[in-house]
Amino acid sequence: MATLELRDIRKSFGGTEVLRGVSLDIADGEFLSLVGPSGCGKSTLLRILAGLESQTSGSVHIGPDCVDGQRAADRDLSMVFQSYALYPHLTVAENIAVPLTMRRLRARDRLPLVGPLMPGAGARRADIACTVREAAETLGIAHLLGRKPGQLSGGQRQRVALGRALVRDPAAFLLDEPLSNLDAKMRVHMRAEIAQLNRRLGATFVYVTHDQAEAMTMSDRIAVMTDGELLQVGTPDSLYDDPADIRVARFIGSPAINLLPVETGSGGAILLAGRDSGLRSGPLPVAHIGIRPEALIPCDGPGLIAGRVTMIENLGSDLFVQLRAEGLAETVTLRLPSEARGKVAPGDLMHLRARPGRARGFDSMGQAAPLRAEVTTDA
Amino acid sequence: MRDASTCQPAAIAGPSISPPASARPERRQARAGAVLIAPALVLMLLILILPVIVAAVLSFTDYTLGRSGLGWVGLENYADIFTRSSYRKMIAATVLYVAVTVPVSVGLGLGAALLIRAVRVGADLYRTVYFLPVMASLLAMAIVWEFALHPSLGLVNRTLEQGCGTGLELWPWYARGCAEGFPLWLSDRDYALWTLAFIGIWQSFGFNMVLYLAGLTSVPRDLYAAAEMDGVRSGWARFRLITWPMLGPTTVFVVTISTIRSFQVFDTVEALTHGGPAKSTYVMIYAIYEKGIAQNLVGMGAAITVLFLGFVMAISVAQRRFVERKVHYA
């Protein structure tokens, strides 16, 4: 168990800089997700943390020690790969045992034929077999120990990969998109299981994913990356409610946040499609306002937005309604409770207002620009 | 109205009565399939199976080309193979040649492939250079080797002579060479087969290297990363844990191909030694050629051919068994 610290990590491949000074502190026992669109450098960052790749500049610390120049095998970290990277010719038991045989057995104990005859090797091997069985039981794969990876389903392989990672009690676990090869149902199941594992082991987890839903459901904190930079690091709630950057707002949340272009008039009045929205900007001029689909509510009179319903997505528990708003190029998405089923139809005209305190402003550079306390437009 | 009366009940009964067997789609498709594979089947029988049967039949006769009849000799040809010393030497020479060239050329091929994968620059150059002997005509190369190995004028012995009078003479073999002359590589019965084996290895390991290079590209990079995370530190441990097992299918293929090709060695024997000296390089294909074609003892040639086919068949069967059991993991 240990803290992890990345200080101003930069990485260039040839002339292209894929990481531009990333600094991140990860607390002991924390579940931190690195999310971002593909190609944003999150996997590279994880591999630098693991020691599989070296940074161009910056330093990596595990616990109190700087581990720069230390190879991956010596860093005492475990990693789960997207492809699982199981050894296909070894059984599940042998796969899980590899980290232990490589660390606990001496080179001469591992020799074929004569290895088992070395003094003490038998006892060490028995000890390893026992640890492997415990790890397998933790993950519910004890009945599969004799099989080869080729005979397992995706979910089972995933568990074997996890078993190989946790059998050795490492300083931290690094997981590189471990669920992306599973089907949707298995993914939901495994993400709960991995989050539970984190709590039970009390170990530090660094989890790389491009799926914001995984990050939201599992993490203590999320670090959002784009183009080799960290945009924001925070709890799932803070990222969802108070994104510091318009790209974070866009990335987090499904369906996506409604981002509407606005103009800031005299006195800070925010004009949406030329009309006073009732929102007032703070010290910074506002170029966009972001409102989550559930923060919009229908109202009778003219509200913030008026538009015609173009599409209704019925999820059973919720209803997502898309509107083409007057004077706006963007479609607006609105979430309604299931009771609204049958009460809206495509073509209906709807007036919407924002729940108080739920609209967020962004300046022309995409940075958060706080709004002043709102004046309600509609009583 | 006989038609109507036979037709009527079928129409009424509907699905319970099946249509005539010949009209069922499965039957029709099977018939079409048989027609479609027939040409390939006939060709295979004519070109591949029939000659083997003919050879097998001839091996029990004393047939020679041009003679009108043939006499049955039973197992006499086979008895000769296993009793006469020249044929015993043939089997010994062939087996020794295969036993030397296969492991060495496979080992060198794998080693060269691993080294080429490891170098940063020049991989293409090495790949081309090592592959050159594979592309060259072995007969032409054999003539070059004949010059190089000439006892007094050849490049090899003249180079060795340059070392005389130096520390190399501490090696007894070298000292003897300096005193009594270096070996007659191709006409000394203690050296001839080894020399041919050396040329065989020189010629074939580049081919194995290319196969291994292809095999290496299919080893997932993630496995090496996983092994590093699992605490695998040495290159040897990495090779044992990942590279060698993952190359299993390639190795089986390379060994099979190399073995069959080594059994078939002929060009160098024909060009350099003609089976001699003292039958020390009298390998099977050369024996088939000499008996069946040069001496027109077709029956004997056929018997050696059948034995040869038996060897190759045994290797192929062993390969299949091995492939199914050990090296495919999915």
Q: Domain boundaries in chain B? A: 2-58, 76-149+185-327
Mean pLDDT over each residue of chain B, to the nearest integer: 84
A226 touches chain B (CB under 8 A): no
List chain B residues with CB under 8 Å of A148: 329
pLDDT at B139 over 90: no
Architecture of domain A4-241: 3-Layer(aba) Sandwich (3.40)
Architecture of domain B76-149+185-327: Orthogonal Bundle (1.10)
SS3 label, residue B304: helix
Q: Which residue has the tokens 């018997």?
A: B303
* Cβ within 8 Å of residue B175, ≥6 positions away: B169
Task: Identify whether the C-beta of residue A38 lies closer than 8 Å to the C-beta of residue A210.
Answer: yes
Q: Tell me the shortest Cα–Cα distance from A83 to chain B, in angstroms.
A: 7
Q: CA nearest A166 in B: which residue?
A: B230
Please state the rounded mean pLDDT for residues B6-27.
Answer: 59
Q: What is the pLDDT of residues A114-135, one digit of tens each?
A: 777 777 778 888 888 888 998 8
Domains A4-241 and A256-362 share a fold: no
Report the candidate in A265, A259, A282 with the shortest Cα–Cα distance to residue A333: A259
A67 touches chain B (CB under 8 A): no
- Is the Cβ pair B329, A149 closer than 8 Å? yes
Spatial distance between the Cα atoms of B50 and B70, rounded to a whole number of angstroms: 19
Question: Both tokens of residue B82?
Answer: 């296993």
List chain A residues with CB under 8 Å of B241: 87, 98
Compute CA distances B196 → B98, B110, B199, whole Å. Answer: 11, 21, 5
- Is the Cβ pair A79, B229 closer than 8 Å? yes
Domain spans in chain A, listed from the N-terminal domain onward: 4-241, 256-362
Q: Could you write out the DSSP letters of every residue in A131-161?
A: HHHHHHHHHT-GGGTTS-GGGS-HHHHHHHH
Which secondary structure element, helix H or strand E, spans residue A2, and what is its range?
Answer: none
* Cβ within 8 Å of residue B110, ≥6 positions away: B208, B209, B212, B247, B251
Task: Identify whether the C-beta of residue B268 lies closer than 8 Å to the C-beta of residue B138.
Answer: yes
- Is the Cβ pair B228, A149 closer than 8 Å? no
Spatial distance between the Cα atoms of A78 and B27, rounded to a whole number of angstroms: 59
pLDDT tens track, chain A, 379 positions: 689 999 999 999 888 899 999 999 999 999 999 999 888 899 999 999 999 999 999 999 998 888 888 888 888 899 999 999 999 999 999 999 999 988 888 777 777 777 777 777 788 888 888 889 988 888 888 899 999 998 898 889 988 999 999 888 888 999 999 888 888 888 888 888 899 889 988 899 999 999 999 999 999 999 999 999 999 999 999 999 999 999 999 999 888 999 999 988 888 888 888 888 888 888 888 999 999 999 999 988 888 888 899 999 998 899 999 999 888 888 999 999 988 888 888 999 999 988 888 899 999 998 998 888 655 444 3
SS3 label, residue B24: coil
Which secondary structure element, helix H or strand E, spans residue A13, and what is its range?
Answer: strand A4-13
| Nearest beta carbon to residue A85 from set B226, B234, B248 | B226
Q: Centre a 10 Å sphere on the Cβ of residue A54 and count the other Cβ atoms it contains.
A: 12
Query: Which candidate in A98, A153, A166, A177 is best for mutational testing of the B interface (most B CBs within 10 A)?
Result: A98
SS3 label, residue B311: helix
List chain B residues with CB under 8 Å of A88: 245-246, 329-330
List chain B residues with CB under 8 Å of A150: 329-330
- Is the Cβ pair B225, A85 closer than 8 Å? yes
Q: Centre a 10 Å sphere on the Cβ of residue A72 and count the other Cβ atoms it contains.
A: 23
Confidence of residue B17 (pLDDT cuts 50, 70, 90): low
pTM for the complete prediction? 0.80
* Cβ within 8 Å of residue A357, ≥6 positions away: A374
Task: Identify whether the C-beta of residue B249 lies closer than 8 Å to the C-beta of residue B327.
Answer: yes
Q: CA nearest B330 in A: which residue?
A: A150
| Nearest beta carbon to residue A52 from set B225, B246, B330 | B225
Q: What is the pLDDT of residues B189-205, one digit of tens each?
A: 888 889 889 999 998 88
B9: phi then psi, degrees, rounded to nearest 5 = -60, -40
Task: Tell which B residues from 229 to 268 touch A, by Cβ distance under 8 Å.
Answer: 229-234, 237, 241-242, 245-246, 248
Supply the CATH classification number for the domain A256-362. 2.40.50.140
